[in-house]
Amino acid sequence: MYIYLDGDYVQEQDAKVSVFDHGLLYGDGVFEGIRVYDGKIFKCKEHIDRLFEAAKAIMIEIPLTKTEVEEILVTTCKKNTLQKGYIRFVVTRGKGDLGLSPDKCPTPTVFCIASDISLYPAQMYETGMPIITASQRRNKATIVDPQIKSLNYLNNILAKIEANQAGVPEALMLNHDGIVAECTADNVFIIKKGVIYTPPIHVGILDGITRSTVIDIARKVGYTVVEKEFTLFNVYNADECFLTGTGAEVIPVNSVDRRIIGEGVCGPITKQLLEEFHKVASCDGVAVFE
């Protein structure tokens, strides 16, 4: 496997980063996860834009232009003959000393992996997935804004551990005020009486690219989509519930905290959106192979 690392394409065993890298020491850095469908990088521009915005928010100057980042994404896929899979693009604060200060990190570390990802069992895309609500609350936007896709995922990992302990693949996270926010690496949607609801960004969530894609698709096929705060009561009593994310794609939820959602299967609107999503995903994107 070829990995891009600071200007070179190297084999995995040669892709080495310093133990003094602040990405490793402090989770100080940003990243993107991007899907490749049918030899095309899905929502490439949107992911690159979000990467640069996250870097700006934490004052990392990415030592590349957006065009150069796109070239690296394409070349990493090409070198690994990746037609379908998942790209991870990471920018860390770089190598520093054992203090926190970014002043001691002159050059960001940049690497890119093109591989695969499979977050949930395949059959759950048909049957739906059981989830629980984590007691761990999502980071408050006024403290560390979840819009920053940073290398520090401890908040989400602690919620994921709760899911693992409960024997389900995913956990729903509430914000500080008990409002439904998102899952550990996915955005959440509910459907009630034919209307689709998803939490607004200001409750403290990542502005998911799959979330925006699904909102656009749903509106195009004629559904009303409302970005509105809601509580667990609304989730428990929804007709349908599904999650979206680059890794997760669109996955139905069949129970939340042991409350069966709707009929306890993938509901009809979720099924339609899932199909529409796959149609869009396979015909849209930056081509890897000419």
**Contact string (CB under 6 A) for ligand PMP, positions 220-259, x = contact:** ------------------------xxxx------------
* Binding span for ligand PMP by CB under 6 A among 22-30, 79-87, 205-213, 217-225: 205-213
Catalytic residue (choose from 43, 95, 149, 160): 149
Residues 135-194 interacting with ligand PMP (rule: CB under 6 A): 156, 182, 185-187
- Smallest CA-to-CA distance from 121 within 167, 161, 190, 187 is with 167
C-beta of 73 vs 105, nearer to ligand PMP:
73
Least Cβ distance, residue 243 to ligand PMP (angstroms): 9
- Smallest CA-to-CA distance from 210 within 130, 274, 288, 283 is with 274
Least Cβ distance, residue 246 to ligand PMP (angstroms): 3
Is 149 labeled as catalytic in the residue annotation? yes
Q: How many residues appear in the chain?
A: 290
C-beta of 77 vs 185, nearer to ligand PMP:
185
Instruction: Kindly list the distances between the CA atom of residue 132 and the CA atoms of 120, 166, 232, 263, in Å, as whole numbers in the listed order.
Output: 15, 8, 11, 18
Site size with ligand PMP, rule: CB under 6 A: 15
How many CB atoms lie under 10 A from the CB of residue 221? 11
| Tokens encoding 109 | 């570390």
Looking at residue 159, what DSSP letter applies? H
Phi first, then psi: give them for residue 165, nearest 5 degrees.
-65, -30
89 within 8 A of 51, measured Cβ to Cβ: yes
C-beta of 132 vs 206, nearer to ligand PMP:
206
Q: Which of 168, 209, 286, 288 binds ligand PMP (CB under 6 A)?
A: 209
30 within 8 A of 60, measured Cβ to Cβ: yes
Residues noted as catalytic: 149
For ligand PMP, the binding residues (CB under 6 A) are 33, 156, 182, 185-187, 206, 208-211, 244-247
